[in-house]
Structures are given as C-alpha cells and as structure tokens.
Structure 1
Amino acid sequence: MAYGALSLNYTAAIPLPLHNTGIRSYTTVSGFFAQDNLTATGIPAVSFAATPSPRKIHEFYVYNQIPPYFGLLDDSSDRWSKFFAHIHSLNKGADSYTSYKVFFLGRHGQGFHNVAEAKYGTPAWDEYWSKLNGDGDLVWGPDAELTDLGKSQATSAHEAWKNELAAGIPLPGKFYVSPLTRALQTLEITINGHWKGAVGGAPTLASRLRFTR
C-alpha cells in the first residue's frame, strides 16, 4: 500500500474531563485493541525509537491494512455489544470530572501529493516540490484529490464498516473531517450507504484535523 494510504490507525477509549476548567488530561485505556501492541495478531511488528515521530507512526499504519474488527481483540459474534457495555460501565463508575469516549480515527487515501512525494523523495518534496501545484505530469495542488488507489483504499474502509455494522458496531455519534478534498472524498466513500442511522448529523469540518510531522 503506497505512502499516504487510508488507514484506520487507532481506536481507543479515552477518559476526558467533563468540565471546562482549562486543564484537560487525555489518556488511553489499554487492553481492548491490538493497536496497543504493535506485534499483536494482524498488525506486523515495527521498531520505533523511544519517542516515535509522527512520520514513523504514520508510515507504519500507511503500509498496513485495516486490522480485523478494527483491531478489537474480542472476535466473538457479540464483540461490539460487550465492548460498548463495558464503556458504559466505565462511565457509570467514573467521577464527575471523567468521561470515557471511543474514537475511530482514519487517514485519507492516497492523494496525488503522496505520489509526488514518493516520486521526488521526502527531502526534495519538503524543500521544493510541495510548494508547487504540479510538475507538468502530476497535479497535486492547491488541494490534492485522491488517486484511483486512494479511492480503492477508501472503499476498503467502507467494506470494513459494512462488516462491523453487521456485527453490531454502532455508527459514531459525531463525524469530524478535515476540509481538504482528499479527506472529504475519503469520508464520503467510507460512509456512503452507511449514513442512515447516524445520530450526529452532518460531519463537522475541522481545519486543524491534519497530520503534522
């Protein structure tokens, strides 16, 4: 799978303070998903430095497929009902400053800018080519669209959701998406036909939802 591929790269239950005190603490709750352990079944081993860079984390997930059951370790037929029942139990027992949320995070499919970066190499891309809209062969700016491969990767995410919806996973209550074309195209393909039953309304555009190096 090429650099910039779609990847459902992390799912976690995260306790969040309910009150806007100006101080927020975010932590993940381990033990539910294979993404907690990068050598777990379905996710090939990878070596990170003590403090992995966003690029290394991105490259790992880009080059690997969406894990079975989105990485949920429980593979039973009622896995999602049990998982969300546990999240409900955590919230019921939490203090008034803590809330447990479940996030499904996905990166956009391959865009033409990803093809260009692979063509010229990251140093040259960062230094020169990323500042242009194209090279006479490829057009990647000012707002790169998905390649055919990128659309195929988004379709894979669509099928993954189709399978897990049949297994009882609820649609997310909220959708947040970058306003960049490649992200919008990925979301549209991913949730096409699954939208009915979503309780959060139209997706919220969030301009700061971007991968940073």
Structure 2
Amino acid sequence: MSDLIKITQCDVEDAHANTDQEVIYRKLISEARYQRDPETGNTLRPWKFEVVQGFFKQSDESTDELSFDLIRDNFGLALGSWSALKLKLHELNLNGSPNESYKLLICARHGQGYHNEAVSIFGIEEWNNHWSHCTGTTLPDGREIVWGPDPMLTPLGERQADELNKAWRKQIEHGAPIPTKYFSSPFTRSCMTLVRTWRGISICEENEDQSKLLSSKRHFPIVMENLRETIGSHLCDKRSPKKIIAQRFSRFGFTFEKGFQEEDIYYRDDWRESLSEQSLRADAFLQDVFENYPDDIYISSTSHAGEIRAIITALGHRKFAIPTAGTLPIVVKGTRIQEDLVL
C-alpha cells in the first residue's frame, strides 16, 4: 500500500459501525421527501440518488478494502482508461431522460489532523471517553499537541495531501478529468487538504498566474456546513469563526455558501449527531449539487470519515473504509422526482 496513505483498524471499525442507523435513515429520508419550502412551496428534496456500478472498484463488493491501494490502483478506476470513463459519462447524460443526471463525485477525506494523531496515541476508547472533550495535551516527551477546536493538519497530514497532488497530476496526464466544482467542509483540516491536493492543478493564490494551472483557469471552492464532520461533543468538530476561515483561505479563492454564519451555531457539548441525522445532511448536500450545478459533471468534495460514511449511507453505496487523505470516487445517478409524485 501507499507509504503515506494507509488504512487503520480504527478506520475499518468506524466505516462499519452503527448499521442500525441505516434503517432509521431510510425512514427519515422517506418522510423528508414530502417536505416543502414554506415560502416557495417547492419540494426540498426533489432528487433521488443511486450508485452507478462498473466505474470504480470501491463500489464492487469483491474489492477488499484492507488491501486496496488508492494511489497504485489509479484511484480505483475499473474501466480501461479515464477516456472511457469520460465517454461513458457523456453518453449517460446525453441519452438519459430529461430528469436524470450523472456526475462523478470525488469524496476526499482530509489528511491526518492532530485529533487523528491523538486517537493513534491514546486509542479510540480513551479518545471517546476523555480526550475528545479536551483541547489538547502535553505528551511525555514534552511536545504539546492541540486538536480542539478545529485542529490543523499534522506534518504527516500535509505530506499525505501533497501525495494526493502528485497522484492526481499523474492521473490527469493519463486523461483523468479535472473537477469543475470544489466543495469543502468548513474545518481547517479539510480546507488545508483541498488546497494542497489541487494547488497548481486548479487552485492557486490570487496573485499567482492562473494560466499556469493544469485547468487553465482558477477555481473557487465553496465552504459548506453540510460537509462538516459529525456535529457535537468532540471539540475537534467545533469549527472556527467565519472570519478566521476567510483569513486562512480566501487568498486561495475560497467562498462561503449563502447564509454561512460567523460563529458555529450547530456545535453543542452535550449532544452528538447520529449517523442517520448526518446522512440527511449528506443528502441535502447532494440535493444542492444536483439542483444548482446541472452543468458540472466532475465534482470534488473534501470532508471527513464520518461525512463520507454519511454520503455512502445516503447513496446506498457499499461500506468502504477511507484512511486519512483517502479518496472515494463515486459515479452517482440523480433522478429528479416529478412534482405530482410527491403531492
């Protein structure tokens, strides 16, 4: 496997936990289909989603998540070439019904953050019971690590994201599509990973020559609350104020979704979001992408293990463990429900 991006037992356990929540989610999403905007009367969730098989090995039940190597296995591409993928996606969109849309969603997990390092040091049980509620600690060797709120990437996490940058450059040389829309969790570790992954490819600072980008033009990532990690209880999952996020990332072209609040209005110390609730958030993100970006076929989202697990649940994708800086590409079919079907 890649020397930098490696699956851990914790990643596997996390990806396969809370199976009871899937049944709860199916009930919640079924009820949510009938909800309408009180001001406009429009259906809030007009799209239904499913995974299109045959494009990536990760969606195939026969693929072993423990031995799968993202970098050496071309991000899991199951077709003969990226050109074949682009042609097939084009044909699906060209020949599909007017209410159907097909997109490649590239779900990236951030590189190692200091909270991830803390889990590796203390173990998941001690982390959940004690350390996740702390801001950090001083290790026996005298090194201080801080993971809350909103931790940074560790040096390893930075190298992991740089490894992704090199990997994507190689795949682009072999015909891989460059995303045309970029979305990020509001947490610093995700924004940092997005920048380091796509810098020089489609992301640059405002004073840099965008004509030198592989995409030939600069793209502007959108920060979205619905891509944040599981909400509540763990201090690493409390975000920075909007002005701090802007200070760190506006020079890289980051913008904010409409209505993004200055302070974190969602975090609570005394409550932790369930997988079924988070999956409703993931569905809301997918609704936004398919409803408001119809012409963008190649979508990049940079978020978290818990959020990718929620996207997996919302799509009905097989469970698949994602290491820090891991990436899960999924071809998604969206079908827009006719209004008269939900009256």
Whether TM-score is above 0.5 comes out as yes
User: What one-letter code is carried by the residue in structure 1 that aligns with 2:188?
Assistant: T
Write the distance in 2 (CA, Å) between the matches of 1:165 and 1:199.
15
Contact in 1 for aligned 2:53/2:60 (Cα 8 Å):
no
Which position in structure 1 is the counterpart of 2:184?
177
Distance (whole Å) between structure 2 residues aligned to residue 194 and residue 129 of structure 1: 38
Deviation track 1:22-55 (CA, whole Å, cap 9, x = no partner) reads 3321100001111122544xxxx25xxxxxxxxx
The offset of 1:123, in angstroms, is 2.1
- TM-score, length of structure 2 as denominator length: 0.47
**Cα distance, 1:106 vs structure 2:** 0.8
Count how many residue pairs are aligned between Structure 1 and Structure 2: 178
Identity %: 34
Secondary structure, counterpart of 2:82 in structure 1: helix
Matched residues in 2 for 1:66 and 1:198: separation? 25
In structure 2, the partner of 1:74 is 79
Report if aligned partners of 2:56, 2:76 keep a CA contact under 8 Å in 1: yes
Question: For residues 200-211 of structure 1, what are the structure 2 equivalents within 5 Å?
Answer: 201-211=219-229
Stretch moving more, 104-113 or 22-31: 22-31
Unaligned 5+ residue runs, structure 1? 6-19, 47-59
1:36 partner amino acid: S
The corresponding residue for 2:55 is 32
- Whole-angstrom CA distance in 2 between matches of 1:192 and 1:130: 31
Q: Distance in 2 between matches of 1:180 and 1:32?
A: 30
- Contact 1:173/1:198, CA 8 A, preserved across alignment: no
Given that 1:112 and 1:146 are in contact with CA atoms closer than 8 Å, whether structure 2 keeps it comes out as: yes
The alignment's C-alpha RMSD in Å is: 2.5
Q: Could you tell me which amino acid in structure 2 is paired with residue 120 of structure 1? A: F
The 5 Å alignment of 1:1-213 reads 1=6, 21=43, 22-37=45-60, 39-40=62-63, 45-46=64-65, 65-75=70-80, 79-136=81-138, 137-195=144-202, 196=213, 197=215, 201-212=219-230, 213=306
Using the alignment, how far apart are the partners of 2:96 and 2:223 within structure 1? 30
| Residue of structure 1 equivalent to 2:296 | none
- Rg comparison, structure with higher value: 2
CA distance in 1, matches of 2:7, 2:77: 25
TM-score, normalised to structure 1's length? Answer: 0.74
